[in-house]
Chain A
Amino acid sequence: SYELTQPPSVSVSPGQTASITCSGEKLGDKYACWYQQKPGQSPVVVIYEDTKRPSGIPERFSGSNSGNTATLTISGTQAMDEADYYCQAWDSGTGVFGSGTKVTVL
């Protein structure tokens, strides 16, 4: 079965850039999206179609996808960005989530 691998944790200082990777075989040939989940809340999509931001998502969130790796970048990270982040893609009509990355803003 298809798998997406993320680092368990990423730490970043306020105002700095956080990059979260998501690796999967030929992931660049698929569309990747990213979800943010804060404690006790439902997930929220922050990036879809590799690079697009839904309305209401700050410009500091951006995405890319090439080869075997998709990347979520948070520029000028704020304390409110501390959360779990999950990548997601489709493989033969089956949904696949990454293992999740906890972003800590120190």
Chain B
Amino acid sequence: EVQLVQSGAEVKKSGESLRISCKGSGYSFTGYWISWVRQMPGKGLEWMGRIDPSDSHTKYSPSFQGHVTISADKSITTAFLQWSSLKASDTAMYYCARHSYSGRPNDAFDIWGQGTMVPVSS
């Protein structure tokens, strides 16, 4: 079964660092890009950025550039999203999603992780 399994919920405080993970299985991990998507409480979906696990090349949304870091370790088929200093405004559900046609104009997110909730207290 093709799936993305994310790490569990993390309760953090402002200023703390955090890295959450997204493990792919059931497919060739290096053959498909992975994106991260934020959903703040009661709000819509926001694309944060993506990574090509084959060479770790990344692209970020201007809204998130410099605030988060996306990485991947293909040896353990896992992508990561990390913060060096969390803010209360980072409180959200974070999803990873697989690209179906990595980089092509007709690309879509065909497989999603179950989400990781990150509450950040001030």
Interface residue ranges, A against B (CB under 8 Å): 1, 30-31, 33, 35, 37, 42-45, 48-49, 54, 84, 86, 88, 90, 93-100
Q: Contacts A1-B62, A94-B59 known; A42 to B115 CB distance under 8 Å?
A: yes
Assembled-state Cα–Cα distance A95/B107 (Å): 10
Q: Is B50 an interface residue (CB 8 A)?
A: yes
When the two chains form the complex, which single residue of B45, B59, B107 contacts A43, counting CB atoms closer than 8 Å? B45
Assembled-state Cα–Cα distance A94/B35 (Å): 11
Contact A42 B110 (CB under 8 A): no
Binary interface encoding of chain B residues 52-94 relative to chain A, with 1 for a CB under 8 A from any of its CBs, else 0: 0000000101100000000000000000000000000000000
Assembled-state Cα–Cα distance A54/B110 (Å): 9
Contacts A/B (CB < 8 Å), 18 sampled? A31-B105, A31-B107, A33-B109, A37-B45, A43-B45, A43-B97, A45-B108, A48-B110, A49-B106, A49-B108, A86-B44, A86-B45, A88-B45, A88-B109, A94-B47, A94-B62, A95-B50, A97-B46
Tell me if A's interface is mostly helix, strand, loop or mixed: strand
Give B13 Cβ to nearest chain A Cβ, in Å: 26
Nearest B residue to A95 via CB reads B47
Contact B109 A35 (CB under 8 A): yes
Residues in B with CB closer than 8 Å to A99 are: 44
When the two chains form the complex, which single residue of B50, B106, B112 contacts A42, counting CB atoms closer than 8 Å? B112
Give A53 Cβ to nearest chain B Cβ, in Å: 12
Residues in A with CB closer than 8 Å to B47 are: 88, 94-97
Residues in A with CB closer than 8 Å to B107 are: 31, 90
